[in-house]
Structure 1
Amino acid sequence: MSVNLRDFFRACNPAKTLNCKHEQDRKYYIDFSKLRGAEIAEELAKTITWTDGPTCQLFSGHIGCGKSTELLRLKASLEEEGFHVVYFESSQSLAMGDIDVSDILLATAHQVSTSLKNAGISLRGGYFRNLLQECVTFLNTPIDISVETEVSLWGLGTLTAKAKDSPSLRNQLRQYLEPQTESLIAGLNQEILQPATDILCKQGKAGLAIIIDNLDRIDDRRLDSGKTLPEYLFIGRGEQLGQLDCHVVYTIPLSLMFSNEQQALKNRLGNGSSPLVLPMIPVYRRNGAGLAQLRQLVLSRAFPDLAPETREASVTELFDSSETLDRLCQMSGGHVRNLLGFTVSCLRKTKQLPIQRDSVERTIREARDELLVSVTEDEWALLEKVTQTNAVTGEDEYHSLLRSLFVFEYRTDDNGRWFDVNPLLTEVPKLQ
């Protein structure tokens, strides 16, 4: 089967999030759940579908490991169960480097009310109309708010958009809204979430669920209080974020899993349940199953309509040998976005298929060089420790090793949780 180089390149776009509601994306999707030690989307869905009343769940993992794809799978699963699901990427509405609880609540109110209106559910509420009118007066900012507008829908969107783009307006708005956080939560519950749930249930729906993606991208800067911004939001203010009267899934920064206050996070926002973490795909364990599935990740982008075993037989149409593809998969360390990025880099260097081994080695060398310029002598010592212990402990080691992708986290049923150095660095003489 002939493969179009341009089509293969586009299919490997590492920035694209698969949405399994779309037929073509389903063909690209590879199920890594058994290799990762958990079926994350299924676990999140069970908590929602098996629980009477609101739930609040936390989800984390490395950037680029496939969280958004799993959350969209969760959305599709819940919709099949009869839920109205509001999924939104917080980074589209909020400034990730400067964010507070009121910002998250206001963005949630806008996203939910928009989704409900699109579903034919119109809500009218005096609280948000009055709040937005007060904000306009306080900020002296022209925003068109009509008495007839459902929950001041258009005004909410305009206000959040203006606040994201203007630091000064954002600070003024926050000064006004933060003292009213409890009233904002009550208004959100009483004028949007509770009425919407009642209407949905009367329509035969199972209820309302909100999935807030990309909050893991919040800046990890340290505040004057000594706490990091994620600690302040999800631990210090966690009880408030957990008061929404429907099912909510928050993505949270992986750094919180290494915080001294992780148990407080679990109890204040997680309602006693630990956050679910999406780890990397283990390449070298489980008798090579991880490597085989990573091969399928690449092969499916070229041969989406072929059965897995048939794809394996066609590998030499893409690479000069199966060993060349294996080399690329091994060097990714089971990081999905990195593997797709490596493949795209190889394709840039290739005039025609199959991809040659020298293109793969050049891609690996370039990626390694990018990492090497960031590694300090102290971090080399930490990396040496990881090679001996397969462990990372505390916030300092997280910031030095995991956030920079020097080290990856893995979890399996039989091995539990462990850490390994990014394979791009393991061939450097300092670690040999």
Structure 2
Amino acid sequence: MSLDLLQFYRACNPSKPIDMSASEREKYYIDFSAVRSRNIIDELQANITLFSPNTATCQLFAGHIGCGKSTELLYLKSILEDAGFYVVYFEASQLLDLADVDIGEILLAIATYLSQHFPPAIAPEATGIWQSLLREIWKVFNREFQLGSMPHSVQIATETLQKENQHPSLSSELRTISTYAKHSPELRWKLRQYLEPRLNLILQAINTEVIEPAMIDLQQQGYKGLVTIVDNLDRLEAIEKPWGRLQTEYLFVDRAEQLCKLNCHMVYAIPLTLIFSTEFGRLVQRFGSDPKVLPAIPVRDRRGQIFPPGIDLLQQMVLARAFPDVARERRLERLPQVFDNAQPLERLCYISGGHPRNLLRLLHRWIEKERQLPLSRNVLEVAIRERCHQLLLSLSEPEKDLLRRVADRQRISPTENSQLLLHNLFVFEYQDEDGSWFDLNPILLEAPAFAR
């Protein structure tokens, strides 16, 4: 049976993590740990299941945006579930404006998703501490809406909470509040003013009225514990707060105490730039352990030589999307259905720098340009030149000089512009038995300004 172009195109969507259900995991998931020098997901799992199954832990997970963190976190979710834990995974960007976030909004988002994802029989209602908190929050919101323009849902929520014998769903109330706050800077500011002096009360409400009752019920159902995975906080923008503090450092250093006070296992995705911040030491002290960093997949070694094991696994990642129902050892035989020979696929994997989303984005563009199978090398080269040109346009001469210095030294210092280097995907981090090292995005090396 021939490969369907549209089906392959959809399977290579760079914005969609692969399905980690038991049946799909075996088809699509590629384990890159052997070439990344360590199995970081096993380390995160062991800290929960082996070293601290009955005591809450708080772990940090970092890496380039698009390097596969969401896929790995979903894999972590699946293996923790296999080990008997109840796991709630969510993307913080669904409820938060990542350009403007405060700690209270993160805590409300966690409470929202926990209460939403518990089994219906144990889903918490808006009672006790939550009832009084929500009633006051709605009053704050009501004062912000002009007379006659109050959304109907706000009116209903306020009226319901004012009736002592009616207890609405906690998750629906919190989701509505978070949605309004996300899309209205004015409401977000008012909510922040209300939440800040009540953070300890909010933590108490989450622990005593959401987490702890659920833990009792979950353990009665045979679960070993509760794990919450908060993804996408790595996408927080490193903007300055009004008082001059970077948002990323404010949330994960200054407010780390609140993030660590939840009475279940927590895993947070954090911005990679924090690893290279002068605040890194304080970050480690506040959380009590080093963040786990997911490196890119090496396509070259630190001496600049092609690294075949990394390229081979990246090829498997592409072929899995083309032939998910074919045994892994047989997929390579079907390569001629996708590419006119083996060289274009090898070239694609190399030029991606071992960055999965870069690879899939370039493959997507390649398919869009060629619009037929098998894909040819000539069209790939056009897509590569376009991407190289896009990257160069965003760089000034001083920034190019900085990139050349990083490439020569293979390291980044805290005083350098890590936001430019890492967040914009000009530089990738790799790991081998000798530790971490850095190299330029191989697409940049196509330009004469960076040619070696």
Q: Report the TM-score when normalising by structure 2.
A: 0.91
CA distance in 1, matches of 2:380, 2:326: 25
Q: Is residue 305 of structure 1 aligned with residue 325 of structure 2?
A: yes
CA distance in 1, matches of 2:123, 2:336: 56
Question: How far is the alpha carbon of 1:320 from its aligned partner?
Answer: 1.6
Query: Which string of whole-angstrom CA distances, capped at 9 and with x for unpartnered residues, describes residues 269-313 of structure 1?
Result: x2x210011111001238510011111111111122223332222
Mapping of residues 358-373 of structure 1, within 5 Å: 358-373=378-393
Contact 1:332 1:339 in 2 (8 A): yes
What is residue 296 of structure 2 aligned with on the other side?
280
Distance 1:153 1:20, change over 3 A: closer
Q: Is residue 142 of structure 1 aligned with residue 155 of structure 2?
A: yes
Q: Which moved more, 1:185-194 or 1:391-400?
A: 391-400
What is residue 47 of structure 2 aligned with on the other side?
47
CA distance in 1, matches of 2:330, 2:227: 40
Q: Is residue 62 of structure 1 aligned with residue 75 of structure 2?
A: no
Identity %: 45
2:187 corresponds to which of 166, 169, 177: 169
CA distance in 1, matches of 2:91, 2:156: 24
Contact 2:427 2:438 in 1 (8 A): yes
Q: Is residue 196 of structure 1 aligned with residue 248 of structure 2?
A: no
Give SS of 2:122's match: coil
What is residue 20 of structure 1 aligned with on the other side?
20
Distance 1:10 1:363, change over 3 A: same
CA distance in 2, matches of 1:12, 1:151: 38
Contact 2:92 2:230 in 1 (8 A): yes
- Structure 1: any 5+ residue segments left out of the alignment? none
Q: Is residue 316 of structure 1 aligned with residue 336 of structure 2?
A: yes
CA distance in 2, matches of 1:294, 1:119: 41
Question: How far is the alpha carbon of 1:53 from its aligned partner?
Answer: 0.9
CA distance in 1, matches of 2:156, 2:20: 38
Question: How far is the alpha carbon of 1:143 from its aligned partner?
Answer: 4.8
Give SS of 1:394's match: coil
What is residue 86 of structure 1 aligned with on the other side?
88
Mapping of residues 20-419 of structure 1, within 5 Å: 20-21=20-21, 23-50=23-50, 51=52, 52-116=54-118, 118-124=119-125, 125-140=127-142, 142-144=155-157, 145-146=160-161, 147-149=165-167, 152-268=170-286, 270=287, 272-285=288-301, 287-394=307-414, 396-412=416-432, 414-419=433-438
CA distance in 1, matches of 2:371, 2:171: 51
Distance 1:110 1:362, change over 3 A: same
Give SS of 2:230's match: strand
2:443 corresponds to which of 408, 420, 424: 424
CA distance in 2, matches of 1:123, 1:313: 53
CA distance in 2, matches of 1:234, 1:415: 29
CA distance in 2, matches of 1:227, 1:167: 19
Q: Which moved more, 1:41-50 or 1:23-32?
A: 23-32
Question: How far is the alpha carbon of 1:152 from its aligned partner?
Answer: 3.3
Contact 1:143 1:155 in 2 (8 A): no
Query: Which string of whole-angstrom CA distances, capped at 9 and with x for unpartnered residues, describes residues 77-122 of structure 1?
Result: 1111221111111000111111111101111111111112x34214
Q: Which moved more, 1:227-236 or 1:294-303?
A: 294-303
Q: Which moved more, 1:87-96 or 1:385-394?
A: 385-394
Contact 2:298 2:307 in 1 (8 A): no
CA distance in 2, matches of 1:153, 1:330: 45
Q: RMSD in angstroms over aligned alpha carbons?
A: 1.7
Contact 2:388 2:446 in 1 (8 A): no
Question: How far is the alpha carbon of 1:183 from its aligned partner?
Answer: 1.1
CA distance in 2, matches of 1:383, 1:135: 48
Query: Which string of whole-angstrom CA distances, capped at 9 and with x for unpartnered residues, describes residues 225-279 of structure 1?
Result: 33210100110011111100111111111111111111111121x2x21001111
Distance 1:256 1:287, change over 3 A: closer
CA distance in 2, matches of 1:127, 1:416: 48
Contact 1:136 1:143 in 2 (8 A): no
Q: Which moved more, 1:392-401 or 1:179-188?
A: 392-401
Question: How far is the alpha carbon of 1:178 from its aligned partner?
Answer: 0.7
Runs of 4+ in 1 over 6 A off after TM superposition: none
Question: How far is the alpha carbon of 1:395 from its aligned partner?
Answer: 5.2
1:130 maps to a residue whose letter is: S
Question: How far is the alpha carbon of 1:49 from its aligned partner?
Answer: 1.2
